[in-house]
């Protein structure tokens, strides 16, 4: 399924034209590359990035990142890592260790320049890479949206919004299949 502005607006009705336009080419390119390419995968991915990005409004976490300071589980071992490696990209890559993994996988220096993940191409590519590298395509194939949320969020924050976006995406995909 190729995304366009009107379809993305249906998926994420609170997104704006400018943001849809800047992300669409990268979503189409990288969703295909990372095999987010069937109905279940697309619906789950769009719902999750829709929630994480405030429907494409944010490509970095609103909070300062201080809450992540000293979080060894995120690899934040140096003073300032919490703020420096706060959530960025459409799926909110968080923590020094995740930035290091993204740097290797994407061949960009996002450890030295974390703000690279705020640029549209890298915001999308990092989200698609993270999704695939955590086995979320296969989990989406099995329809376990709750598990996907747990893996992305570490819990179920924003569950109602994520679930609503997922149901909406499934409905839209069915509409276009008929």
Which residue range is the domain that position 103 belongs to? 5-177
**pTM confidence score:** 0.96
Please give the mean pLDDT across all residues of the chain: 97
What CATH number should be reported for the domain holding residue 68?
A: 1.10.530.10
88 SS3 class: strand
Using one digit for the tens of pLDDT, what is the confidence trace for 103-145? 999 999 999 999 999 999 999 999 999 999 999 999 999 999 9
Q: Are 80 and 105 in contact (CB under 8 A)?
A: no
Could you give the number of structural domains in the chain?
Answer: 1
Query: Does pLDDT of 15 surpass 80?
Result: yes
62/7 Cα distance (integer angstroms): 27
Report how far residue 43's alpha carbon sits from residue 40's, in angstroms, rounded to the nearest whole number: 5
């Amino acid at each position: 399924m190729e995304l366009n502005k009107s379809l993305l607006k249906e998926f994420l009705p609170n997104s704006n034209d400018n943001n849809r336009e800047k992300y669409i080419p990268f979503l189409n390119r990288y969703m295909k590359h990372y095999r987010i390419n069937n109905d279940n995968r697309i619906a789950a991915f769009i719902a999750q990035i829709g929630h994480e990005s405030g429907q494409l409004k944010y490509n970095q976490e609103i909070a300062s990142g201080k809450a992540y300071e000293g979080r060894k589980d995120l690899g934040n071992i140096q003073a300032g890592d919490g703020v420096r490696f706060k959530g960025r990209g459409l799926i909110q890559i968080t923590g020094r260790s995740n930035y290091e993994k993204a740097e290797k996988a994407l061949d960009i220096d996002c450890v030295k320049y974390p703000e690279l993940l705020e640029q549209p191409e890298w915001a999308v590519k990092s989200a698609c890479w993270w999704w695939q590298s955590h086995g979320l395509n296969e989990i989406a194939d099995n329809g376990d949206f709750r598990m996907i949320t747990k893996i992305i969020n570490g819990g179920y924050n924003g569950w109602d919004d994520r679930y609503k976006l997922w149901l909406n995406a499934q409905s839209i995909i069915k509409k276009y299949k008929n």
